[in-house]
Amino acid sequence: MRDLSSSFLCFFRLFCCICFFLPSAIPYDGPLYDHSAYTECKTHPEGPLYNGGILKDYARDIGRHLDNPGTGIYTPAFVLRNLTQGTKYCLSVWVKINGVDSALIRARLSTQNETYKCVGTVIAQSGCWSFLKGGFVLDSPSELSILFFQNSDDRDVDISIASASLQPFTDQQWRINQDYKINAERKRAVTVHVSDAHGDRLRGADVRVEQISKDFPFGSAIAKTILGNLPYQDWFVKRFNAAVFENELKWYVTEAKPGKINYTLADQMLEFVRAHQIVTRGHNIFWEDPIYTPDWVRNLTGAELQSAVNSHILSLLNKYKEEFIHWDISNEMLHFDFYEKKLGPNATLQFFQTAHQADPLATLFMNEFNVVETCADANSTVDHYILRLRELKKGGATMSGIGLEGHFTIPNLPLMRAVIDKLATLGLPIWLTEIDISKTIDKQTQAIYLEQVLREGFSHPSVNGIMLWTALHPNGCYQMCLTDNDLNNLPAGDVVDKLLQEWQTGEIKGQTNEQGSYSFYGFLGEYKLYVQYEDKFINSTFSLSRGDETKHFSIQL
């Protein structure tokens, strides 16, 4: 969608004033974020997003940049002036190559103070146009910068670009667009109608509404350390409606020695989450990194290895059939390929097929790092992820899901959003599965970055759930803890509590109007409804699921 209708634009601005309570009370007049993305190679490029943004005057004046003095290769480039610190710059461009069949094209940015090695990528093909979408945020202002597009290896590739766009968003504009999406995608209008036994409307009836559960899965990893730790369990249950076991389902835990299968820890943890109606991801069946493959498995080959993997997957899924909403089938397969090297290129496809047969109701995921965290990792660019998913689907894999780990250092929010936009074109469930911030960063800054990532994930309409990677251990957490060992919140924990409070409907009270109706706008989930009129009282429950239409609920006294 390029040009939003004037009526929609007016609605959006009015919505901002009414729902966001901007201090200035001035209607929003900034850009609306465009989630458009394309994964197919096209004969002709689409028009530029945002009419080109600040690149609209460059349509006939694309420069050339010497990629590497040693190669003598020149690439398309833009000279940019007066880029500002902290601004979210959203980049998009169509790319075509000649000289090779395909190439990973990377957008880079050189400023006065720093070089950003990657601000967007695309696997471009010869003879058609491919869509690159990315973005960046500068650490310091730059009066003069160069944005250029290069082949990721040393091959001499002729690169053409078209419909380039660079759209800046201030922090306030970015936040307003996020809040708009949250209100549009995570909430819904409700009208409660109150009448007497004859159907006559009752004006002035007291109405109280209370949200009792949330529709959006938001949770964290847990480990065996939660077993028997009642304060930790209470802390967890008060906050989260989803969980994932950190290591307790992994093969090197459940079968450290051949034939000695032990699911005791997983069973005990599953009992805990069941008792509190917490949905749980299954993580993981196989891990392609040989370091995390059982020692005895690494020494197997051929038929012995095939028999071992078949026994493992069937043992795990037959025991836990319909217990876990997801299974990460072959973890981090864009970076490692232990099983495919040993068993052939169709090994992962067979894992997916076997898992689906064993538990057809579970959604089967690829799970990968450095997809939304950065685009500098050539193994896990968004297009590499898409190509692998399409290979699996073409081979017959069923119910695939997209798992984005999200182990961030400094988040690049425009890139994160752009990557999810492209992945969303596949129409598959997308989850942020292992969110944390690097322990190399101080705890206060960790909290700032965590809030940025969580707001970005929750506001994106294609993200179906968020999991933190914050299982608590006596010696800390993998990268980031939410609390200390006494369950006192750290800054990151304060951020989580703040957002959980913000993303739920507080208790609402009011009275029906002259039509006998009371309306409110609530987050998706389950609700209790209490209605009283004179000496008559009734309570009920209702569900608020995603939908564009107002939810109508009738009560008779």
User: Which positions are catalytic?
Assistant: 332, 434
Helix axes 443-459, 491-502, angle to 10 degrees: 30
Structure token digits, residue 137: 């945020």
Task: Give the residue carrying structure tokens 């093969």.
Answer: 251
Residue 423, H or E segment: helix 413-424
Q: What is the Cα–Cα distance from 231 to 494, expressed in whole angstroms?
A: 18
What are the residues whose beta carbons fall under 8 Å from the beta carbon of 391, sequence distance 6 or more?
A: 349
Helices 413-424 and 443-459, packing angle to 10 deg: 30
**Strands across the sheet with 142-151, in order?**
63-68, 73-83, 142-151, 102-110, 115-125
**Residue 317 neighbours by CB under 8 Å, 6+ apart:** 285, 327, 355, 358, 359, 362
Task: Residue 222: name the closest of 207, 204, 235 by CA.
Answer: 235
For residues 207 and 528, give the distance between their C-alpha atoms in angstroms, rounded to a whole number: 11
Tell me how far apart the alpha carbons of residues 362 and 309 are, in angstroms, rounded to a whole number: 19
* Positive/negative CA dihedral, 293, 296, 300, 304: negative
According to the 3-state scheme, what is the secondary structure of 502-557?
Answer: HCCCCCEEEECCCCCEEEEEEECEEEEEEEEECCEEEEEEEEECCCCCCEEEEEEC
Contact 36, 421 (CB under 8 A): yes
Q: In this structure, are strands 142-151 and 363-368 parallel, antiparallel, or unpaired?
A: unpaired
User: Cα separation of 218 and 221, whole Å?
Assistant: 11
Q: Which of 257, 275, 183, 272 is nearest to 461 (CA)?
A: 183
* C-alpha distance from residue 318 to each of 304, 329, 524 (Å): 21, 15, 33
Looking at residue 126, the DSSP 8-state letter turns out to be: B
* Core vs surface per residue 368-404: b (16+ CB within 10 A) or e: bbbbbbbbbbeebbbbbbbebbeebeeeebebbbbbb
CA dist 318 and 315 (Å) reads 5
- Cα–Cα distance for residue pair 307/301, rounded to 1 Å: 10
Residue from 508, 555, 517 nearest 536 by CA: 555
**Token pair for 186:** 């995570």
Q: Is the dihedral of CA 386, 425, 184, 188 positive or negative?
A: negative
Cα gap 67→464, rounded to integer Å: 40
Nearest 10 degrees: CA dihedral of 158, 164, 166, 167? -160
